[in-house]
């Protein structure tokens, strides 16, 4: 589903070398991306949703290749890739329901279908009761759940989670991890980047380690 072939991404001010021939992510897989700050985790994830293109090598996602994908195709593909970050990046002037609904409105989903899908994902993350509440009235963990709901509402084939528990206490982190595992169980691939190795002990899944931009696999 996703493959990296001899990929290098370099930046003007420094060099990140993301190298691994035939590194692949299969449909529905759960994968940890572990590495210290500055090792290239976010860069690798951005290469997956073509927010960055490799300097050398090829990234293939679904049926698209970094060497031939067109701008228009990138927007189409991104509708099917969910991304969440350390900061939930919610719209402050919209309530929980509206934040999630917005992700459907920008791709022209009919209103009736919108309500059905938004309520369904809010149920999945356990925030139905809080649908009229504004982001500032939520805990950090709840805000991340809204971000997850917003990513899920478009039925992505993969969810990229870039240090989603970075700002959370252990209890909220566990809840987020539980949700991500549930998402994986229902068939969506999940890539979870973190610099916290402990997370992987409690929930063993495939691990990619990244150090100074070099990716290696370990189990
Ligand atoms: N746009 C950019 N321009 C220059 N250097 C960058 C850019 N983005 C990332 N880098 C550098 O690439 C390396 C990897 O960054 P990043 O992928 O953000 O790592 P991580 O997410 O693991 O903390 C770092 O040294 C960072 O400074
Ligand atoms: Mg990062």
Residue range 161-199, pLDDT digits in tens: 999 999 999 999 999 999 999 999 999 999 999 987 777
Pocket test for ligand 1, best of 13, 43, 86 (most atoms within 8 A of CB): 43
Q: Is residue 45 part of a domain?
A: no
Pocket test for ligand 1, best of 39, 54, 85 (most atoms within 8 A of CB): 39
Q: Is 157 helix (H, G, I), strand (E, B) or coil?
A: coil
C-alpha 162 to ligand 2 mean position (Å): 7
Q: Is 102 helix (H, G, I), strand (E, B) or coil?
A: helix
Question: What residues pair up with 23 in beta bridges, in sequence order?
Answer: 4
Predicted confidence at residue 47, as pLDDT, reads 96
For ligand 1, whether the C-beta of 42 sits within 6 Å is yes
pLDDT confidence band for 63 (50 / 70 / 90) = very high
Q: Is residue 101 part of a domain?
A: yes
For ligand 1, whether the C-beta of 40 sits within 6 Å is yes
Predicted confidence at residue 25, as pLDDT, reads 93
pLDDT confidence band for 22 (50 / 70 / 90) = confident
Ligand nearest to the CA of 9: 1
Q: Which residue has the higher pLDDT, 28 or 16?
A: 28
Task: For residue 207, give Cα distances in angstroms to 3, 24, 149.
Answer: 15, 12, 25
42 phi and psi angles, rounded to 5 deg = -65, -40
Q: Is residue 77 part of a domain?
A: no
Cα dihedral sign for 98, 102, 105, 109?
negative
Predicted confidence at residue 219, as pLDDT, reads 61
**CA 54, CA 192: separation in Å to the nearest integer?**
21
- The number of folded domains in the chain is 1
For ligand 1, whether the C-beta of 66 sits within 6 Å is no
Q: Is residue 119 part of a domain?
A: yes
Q: Is residue 106 part of a domain?
A: yes
Mean pLDDT of 83-106: 97
Q: Is residue 141 part of a domain?
A: yes
Residue 3 parent element (H or E): strand 2-10
Which domain, by its residues, includes 107?
A: 88-155
Q: Residue 125: pLDDT above 80? A: yes
Question: What digits encode the pLDDT tens for the residues 136-154?
Answer: 999 999 999 999 999 999 9
* Chain-centre distance for alpha carbon 134: 23
Cβ contacts of 156 within 8 Å, gap of 6 or more: 80, 81, 82, 188
Nearest by Cα to 45 from 85, 15, 88: 85
Q: Is residue 138 part of a domain?
A: yes
Q: Which atom of ligand 1 is nearest to the CA of 36?
A: 22
**What pTM value is reported for the model?**
0.95
Ligand nearest to the CA of 208: 1
C-alpha 75 to ligand 2 mean position (Å): 22
Predicted confidence at residue 204, as pLDDT, reads 84
pLDDT over 70, % of the chain: 99
Question: What residues pair up with 208 in beta bridges, in sequence order?
Answer: 33, 217
């Amino acid at each position: 589903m996703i493959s990296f072939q001899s990929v290098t991404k370099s930046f003007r001010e420094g060099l990140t070398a993301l190298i691994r021939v035939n590194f692949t992510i299969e449909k529905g897989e759960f994968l940890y991306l572990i590495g210290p700050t500055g090792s290239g985790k976010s860069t690798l994830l951005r290469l997956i949703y073509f927010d960055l293109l490799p300097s050398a090598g090829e990234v293939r996602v679904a049926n698209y290749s970094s060497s031939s994908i067109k701008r228009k195709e990138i927007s189409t593909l991104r509708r099917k890739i969910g991304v969440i970050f350390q900061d939930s990046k919610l719209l402050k002037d919209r309530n929980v329901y509206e934040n999630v609904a917005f992700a459907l409105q920008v791709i022209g989903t009919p209103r009736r279908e919108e309500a059905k899908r938004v309520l369904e994902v809010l149920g999945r993350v356990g925030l139905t009761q809080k649908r009229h509440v504004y982001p500032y009235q939520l805990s950090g963990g709840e805000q991340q759940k809204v971000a997850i709901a917003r990513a899920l509402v478009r039925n992505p084939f993969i969810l990229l989670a870039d240090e989603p528990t970075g700002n959370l206490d252990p209890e909220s982190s566990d809840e987020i991890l539980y949700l991500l595992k549930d998402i994986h169980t229902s068939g969506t691939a999940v890539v979870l980047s973190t610099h916290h190795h402990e997370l992987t002990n409690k929930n063993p899944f495939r691990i990619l380690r990244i150090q100074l931009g070099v990716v290696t696999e370990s189990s």
